[in-house]
A and B are shown apart, each in its own frame.
Chain A
């Protein structure tokens, strides 16, 4: 039982990261019907951004309190990552909005490869970890080890996801997003600035990835290729939850977190990918819309 609780905590921790990244996939898909394959690498870049910001702030002889450094790291990583994502959208995706959809997907793959290899070439392949910006305190609750980091990750993820959900549901911008995702052709006629909404979507989605990135960097090692694997898992999360659906992406993220941790707990870790993808295939066969989502199927009649 203790083992199960312990693993559940680990699964929630990892699942939070997947959920945060999955949001970016799902939001962009919802609005542009495009799988942004570069998103996993944007997440990777955000982790490195967090790494540099935190290192810089710590090295700066200001002796800022840790909490301030952490919050600044988070905010600056979110800001920097949003800028990058909006820039990529403007330069690489926007010119292709009228082109066949596959062109945009290929471009996204290219952008992703570029980000990976650029990071590799400039920063190097060695794994790194975020400098300590959160005091590590280990609690022992009835034999289950809980660290302050774990609590922080769960709390912050829940908080930002709640904020995002509120933005999408309650603000005019969120309404415009949902309108565009419903029907892109009539929306400009209603005076909604489509380009700006798309930029905001990219900015929001990538800031979520950046939160995930900084939190990931606190708990795990980072390397230039981590965006591939984690990106794919987050992408599967989005599909499992129902791509295009924000709450679905959150649920999907936690499901994948559980799958990964519990497969690794009972099977050799090499089975991890196999189980995740087999699960994905089964789900697509029996419930192609994912748990909460719209079908990923183009009706062509």
Chain B
């Protein structure tokens, strides 16, 4: 059974059709890329899947359960995490707190236990901290644990965002242009990191990316959007030579 099924997803902003009849079936463990020119509706798809927007039409099923209408945190708790095109860390908070906040729903103690500092509260807080530090270790960020997130170098901020997403214990990870603003060396390391994470955390991943190198290099399947419509889908090789894709990227007449 597919992990994620998206059926006929359509979304309007006012009268403007941002996403039209988007379909996607995702098997567990797949790594799928979504590409398309600016304004093609890629990020809107992420916003619809994660519940930031409510779709005008269409179904989104995770393990066969409907996600449409749930609040974003409820969807996150079902196992979908994401990063953002422009980094959206909690800037004034510490790196450690950025990750700990993402452990919010794993906490079982009541507010009263928090007031009274009960044994249970302390135990769970200790676990949360350990979990967060373990993630920071993985991303080589532990030495920044006490620093304010806004003071991290750009590449570290990108990694922290992924660490924060993983702290919600996702099965499906949505990465929104993770390579934006990176140099070729960093991009190489990012590609290795994504593949490693996928194995290590048994993740299914959807990747929005402009850097063709990344998409062609690691994605198994690619779906191409233009003006909200899916204009092509298939293996990287097929996409590379697809006439409609070339047309969308380079303009009419080139293909």
- How far in angstroms is the closest Cβ of chain B from A38? 29
In the complex, whether A301 has a CB less than 8 A from a CB of chain B is: yes
CB < 8 Å A-B pair total: 3
CA distance A301 to B46 in the complex (A): 12
CA distance A301 to B48 in the complex (A): 12
What band does the interface of chain B fall in when counting residues whose beta carbon is under 8 Å from A? under 10
B41-68: CB near A (< 8 Å → 1, else 0) gives 0000001000011000000000000000
Q: List residues of B (10-56) whose CB comes within 8 Å of A's CBs.
A: 47, 52-53
CA distance A300 to B52 in the complex (A): 11
Q: Which residues of B contact A301 (CB under 8 A)?
A: 47, 52-53
CB closest chain-B residue, reference A301: B52
- Interface of A: prevailing SS: loop
Q: List residues of A (265-301) whose CB comes within 8 Å of B's CBs.
A: 301
CA distance A107 to B53 in the complex (A): 36
Q: Which residues of A contact B52 (CB under 8 A)?
A: 301
CA distance A301 to B52 in the complex (A): 8
Q: Which residues of A contact B53 (CB under 8 A)?
A: 301
CA distance A301 to B18 in the complex (A): 15
Q: Which residues of A contact B47 (CB under 8 A)?
A: 301
CA distance A301 to B53 in the complex (A): 9
- How far in angstroms is the closest Cβ of chain A from B87? 15
CA distance A301 to B86 in the complex (A): 12
- How far in angstroms is the closest Cβ of chain B from A299? 11
CA distance A50 to B201 in the complex (A): 74
- How far in angstroms is the closest Cβ of chain A from B47? 7
A-B contact pairs, 3 of them (CB 8 A): A301-B47, A301-B52, A301-B53
Residues of A within 8 A of B (CB): 301
Residues of B within 8 A of A (CB): 47, 52-53
The 3 closest A-B CB pairs, nearest first, are: A301-B52, A301-B47, A301-B53
